[in-house]
Amino acid sequence: MQKTTRRLADGREILYFDTGDGRRHDAVDRRPLDPTATASEIRHDPLLDEWVAVTAHRQGRTYHPPADECPLCPSREGRRTEIPEADYQVAVFENRFPSFAGGPGPLSAQEPDGLFGHRPGAGRCEVVCFTADHDASFADLTPARARLVLDAWTDRTAALSRLPGVEQVFCFENRGREIGVTLGHPHGQIYAYPFTTPRTARMLHTATAHRERTGRNLFDDVVAAERADKSRVVAEGEHWTAFVPHAAHWPYEVHLYPRCRVADLTALDEGARAEFPHLYLDVLRRFDRIFGPGEPPTPYISAWHQAPRTAPGRHDFALHLELFTIRRTSGKLKFLAGSESGMNVFINDVPPETAAQRLREVGNE
């Protein structure tokens, strides 16, 4: 992999990742941009013991521009974008409208009992452009290009984990208007959080309790049980297993685990890195075939779960990717209504075994 680092007109960093063909990235961003101004703050919810980001500056972010005004396409004559180059393979740059930015600040409280704690939303947010082709998707990438994205995710995980105040790095892709995507170009994002996210904290808590109760690792036991059961396994290779979880929250949901448990992307061995693109592309293509021919591309969220940097129990955490769609059947979406949004109790209309069977079936189409 070849990495080139440059700066955009307002000082934000942009990185180009290439397969090592010696290409140069010397284009200069000549847009008349003012320095970015962020107002990110995180506030502590004392009832749930969770942090919430308040980011008023994001209200003005780009929203569904026409394809010929896409800010993630390569620049061309008369049209300068976030990518100064006329072409690229994978590009990563600091988000112009970040949810988290800057270094850490002190914890403050505006109430005598200290209930309403708040501090600056330290961290960093990056945009990952998977390809220069505006009309493509991740599933259209070759295994070599998908491997390049994996290498970029790994590079950024290592770099962002070293930033002061960063506790957890989250690489993810939102795909489809139904998910809430505001830019149609194939891309993902990376959030460097200044805290351990609530979902991860809960998994760490249950993993610790399982270790104390059984002496074993919870993630290892779950993967072993799914592989032994087989009814929910969608695809597997020498180094990875993809399955619909026993208690799937979403209509179609697949988790991908490496056979050898590691804490984050930086710890994957070469065998797992080489196999991942093939298995992941296979699963993504199955997702686009779930609802039959003639259906629009399946909207999804693809999310890497990585261990926090310093949290207790980090050594027991297992890197894994969760892929799910909010489409429950043709033309119908799964909305997070009263039970899900109000009580965090999911009601799933598609039995996980049925979802797994369907995903296995479409693998042969």
Catalytic positions are 187
User: Residue 217 in contact with residue 261, Cβ under 8 Å?
Assistant: yes
Please write down the long-range contacts of 95-98, taking CB distance under 8 Å and 24 or more positions apart.
Answer: 95/125, 95/126, 95/127, 95/189, 96/10, 96/12, 96/36, 96/61, 97/57, 97/58, 97/60, 97/61, 98/36, 98/38, 98/40, 98/55, 98/123, 98/124, 98/125
* Structure tokens given for 195: 């805290």
CA angle 42–92–173, rounded 5-degree value: 65
